[in-house]
Amino acid sequence: MWKKKKGMEGDPDLQFLLQGGDLLKVRSPSWKKTRYFKLQEDCKTVWHESKKTFRRKQTFSLDDIAAVRMGRQSEGLRKYTEEQVEIRCFSIMFKGRRKNLDLIASSEEEAKQWVSSLEKMVSRLKNLSCQQKTEHWILSCLRKADKNKDDKLSPSEVKNFFRLINIDVEDEYAEMLFKKCDKSNSGYLTGEEIQHLYELLTQREEIDVIYGEYARTTGFMNSENIVDFLMKEQREKATLEDARRIIEKYEPDENVKEKKLLSKDGFLMYMQHPEALILNSDHTEVYQDMSQPLNHYFISSSHNTYLMEDQLKGPSSTEAYIRALLKGCRCVELDCWDGSDDEPVIYHGYTLTSKILFKDAIKAIKEYAFKTSDYPVILSLENHCSVEQQKVMAHHMNSILGSALITAPLGQGMPTEFPSPEELKGKFLIKGKRLNKLEAIYASEEAADNTDVTEEDESNDEDEEKEGEQAKKKKKLKLAKELSDMVIYCKSVHFHGFEDAAQNLSFYEMSSFKEGKAVGLAEESANAFIRHNVDKLSRIYPAGTRTDSSNYDPVPLWNAGCQIVALNFQTNCTDMDVNQGRFLVNGKSGYILKPAYMRDLATDFDPITLTRGDWLKHKTLHVMIISAQQLPKVNKKKSSIVDPLVKVEVFGVPADVAEKETNAIENNGFNPAWNENFQFDVYVPDLALVRFLVEDHDSTSDNEFVGQYTLPFNSLKMGYRHVPLLNKNGDLLPSAGLFVHIMVVDA
């Protein structure tokens, strides 16, 4: 009944993985052990033997794999293996904080086969439609429920199955469903009876009602009905041609498709497809003007990018850079210190965090910088190195980044403003200290000393924050000319007030602000801060007291026009969810164009006082939370079922910040229904974000996180919409989602 997925039985890659084989697992120079790995019958779970008797069932899901990398690309393999085994090595990288799996195959061919087969299966899983994911998930639960593996389900196995799919069914209801499906009166379910149970469970009443409204004439929706639905309910412009395309693309029944009709199954498939979800699909591509100066954009930015965990004793890793860049981060931080053998290292100074080589970080950044986004990456250097090792840093950046590194202003003559993200595509910018003004390049001036100079007045806020007592001596930084000359558009300077900056600083001279100071300025002098950010860049970073790598709320700083609001990407929290929501759109390019009134030097915009102006576009947002589907269990204990509730949160200018929540539904994570309505006033829609948060209600302690989805207010689509849900790490929950109705009207 629940065998392998259709259409893949003869696939050689699938057969290879089902067969499995021995691989050498590497953990340290002395721990290298042979383990047997194979894909299980569900075509989704990989099993590998473990010599520890109490962990005999070592498994992981293909859904948990972030990437499979050929060669010695992980730190573990580089550290613990010799170069000659390079061609036989590969690593499995997992989502979240799970450690990589470093493996060595017996030959190059075998390693390539493992890598290509795993990549193919992971890609197939990713590309399954919502409906297929649902089937996949339910079938794997059925398989687990069938304890004695006889392809039949007894009443107790059906009860167990309900628990696995996160639905607590009263005994009478379970019995009623069982009897309804047990057509043969045999006391257990087989074949078509299990299929019938599956159909009863996946029936979506709310979808039936909407479909029924528009499929009145023949029991099916025709092209005119589809156009009606799209225009009346979904508030979309639609033609008969659009309707025919939907039938062609989504109708699973060939007979119905031939008649140019859409069945209920086809309608549901369309409604669950990305083009019909709550996020405006036009915004998933780059849709904004990318030819404005760089400082006219909010830029996705990371703080202490090298850290995987906390700031005191957690590991540093090149993997942390890779993860941030793949999430679309465009400004990464490198904390550089003198290392042994004249090789600079990166770590969190004066702490027990581990160290990585500067050159390894630059190599990882070069390889992964432009996989998610083509737009420029800023390398924010926190430089604590001696002049000699600064020269080594400059050499590594030059030799590894090559022509992608900006080492001179673009165009002819001294620039007066930043180049655009479009002009800087595929390029790296260095943010750091510089010995002289950029203008010196054109005046043929040499720096005071050809190797280094003493900087007295630019001791960086962040250095002071990190070094505590050491920094209070206002230590003088010696700077190598080779490194200084690489700083073109992002020269770090001290901030002495908005007036001083306007009079004395060039556009490329930028300051970093500790979160406390920045929040103070954003509250007390918001308009001055916004004007400052019209022609300068500002970088904000978390307070040094956040040793646990916690984050701060980025929204008030975006409201003040700050571009580089750096967060700890390694920490899962609401602030990071909001950051990912802000940069979810514009093709996940990591650059979001600021509204026009935040790009005008004469602007009167103030997010706190909200005087009249172009920014005031008062809207009323109506949200109806209808239902949810297949919410994951929070507590993996078999008997625990979630009691879900939904919170709708609005972030933005202070007047727009709001939160409303539904009642909790007891013991149903499979298909809870609320049908609750909320209303929000949104005054500055350009800066607003909407977050849907699902929690497991607990009356005795804090509610537990189940899933969330955050998106910009201006990217909401109206009408009946499915909302995908992300887990704590920001990864998609394969089958889970919310079903809502959205309406935005002028207030």
Please list the active-site residues.
303, 348
Q: CA-CA distance, 335 to 109, in Å (whole number)? A: 40
Q: Is 449 annotated as contributing to ligand binding?
A: no
The H or E element spanning position 228 is helix 223-232
Q: Are strands 297-302 and 564-567 parallel, antiparallel or unpaired?
A: parallel
Q: Is 702 annotated as contributing to ligand binding?
A: no
Torsion of CA 300, 319, 548, 353, to 10 degrees: -130
Q: Is 615 annotated as contributing to ligand binding?
A: no
Q: Return the number of other C-beta atoms located less than 10 Å from residue 370's C-beta.
A: 17
Residue 153 DSSP code: B
* Residues sharing a CB contact under 8 Å with residue 382, sequence separation 6 or more, in sequence order: 333, 334, 335, 336, 460, 462, 463, 466
Q: Report yes or no: 314 and 353 within 8 Å, Cβ to Cβ.
A: yes
Q: CA-CA distance, 577 to 304, in Å (whole number)? A: 18
Going from the C-alpha of 610 to that of each of 137, 450, 714, the distances in angstroms are 49, 52, 19
> What are the b/e assignments for 299-320, b being 16+ CB within 10 Å?
bbbbbbbbbbbbbeebbbbbbb
Structural Rg of the chain based on CA atoms: 28
Q: Is 36 annotated as contributing to ligand binding?
A: yes
Q: Is 25 annotated as contributing to ligand binding?
A: yes
Q: Is 51 annotated as contributing to ligand binding?
A: yes
Q: Return the number of other C-beta atoms located less than 10 Å from residue 623's C-beta.
A: 21
Q: Is 475 annotated as contributing to ligand binding?
A: no
Q: How far is CA 70 from the centre of its chain?
A: 24
Q: Report yes or no: 594 and 297 within 8 Å, Cβ to Cβ.
A: yes
Q: Report yes or no: 433 and 458 within 8 Å, Cβ to Cβ.
A: yes
Q: Is 527 annotated as contributing to ligand binding?
A: no
Q: Report yes or no: 180 and 172 within 8 Å, Cβ to Cβ.
A: no
Q: Is 40 annotated as contributing to ligand binding?
A: yes
Structure tokens at 282: 């036009």
Torsion of CA 593, 597, 600, 603, to 10 degrees: -150
Residue 385 DSSP code: -
Q: CA-CA distance, 138 to 630, in Å (whole number)? A: 10
Q: Is 192 annotated as contributing to ligand binding?
A: no
Q: Is 33 annotated as contributing to ligand binding?
A: yes
Q: Is 643 annotated as contributing to ligand binding?
A: yes
Identity of the residue numbered 286 = V
- Straight-line distance from the first to the last Cα atom of the chain, in angstroms, rounded to the nearest whole number: 55
Q: Is 304 annotated as contributing to ligand binding?
A: yes
Q: Is 43 annotated as contributing to ligand binding?
A: yes
Q: Is 695 annotated as contributing to ligand binding?
A: no
* Residues sharing a CB contact under 8 Å with residue 468, sequence separation 6 or more, in sequence order: 350, 544
Q: Is 546 annotated as contributing to ligand binding?
A: no
Select from 581, 741, 603, 611 the least CA-distant residue to 677: 741
Q: Is 667 annotated as contributing to ligand binding?
A: yes
Q: Is 382 annotated as contributing to ligand binding?
A: yes
Q: Is 425 annotated as contributing to ligand binding?
A: no
Q: Is 31 annotated as contributing to ligand binding?
A: yes
Q: Is 194 helix (H, G, I), strand (E, B) or coil?
A: helix
Q: Is 558 annotated as contributing to ligand binding?
A: no
Q: Is 101 annotated as contributing to ligand binding?
A: no
Q: Is 28 annotated as contributing to ligand binding?
A: yes
Q: Is 32 annotated as contributing to ligand binding?
A: yes
Q: Is 337 annotated as contributing to ligand binding?
A: no
Q: Are strands 644-651 and 689-696 parallel, antiparallel or unpaired?
A: antiparallel
Q: Is 166 annotated as contributing to ligand binding?
A: no
Select from 271, 44, 40 the least CA-distant residue to 136: 44
Q: Is 52 annotated as contributing to ligand binding?
A: yes
Q: Is 50 annotated as contributing to ligand binding?
A: yes
Query: From the annotation, which residues make up the binding site for Ca(2+)?
Result: 304, 333, 335, 382, 641, 643, 667, 696, 698
Annotated binding site: 25-52, 304, 333, 335, 382, 431, 433, 512, 539, 641, 643, 667, 696, 698
Annotation: binding site for substrate: 25-52, 431, 433, 512, 539
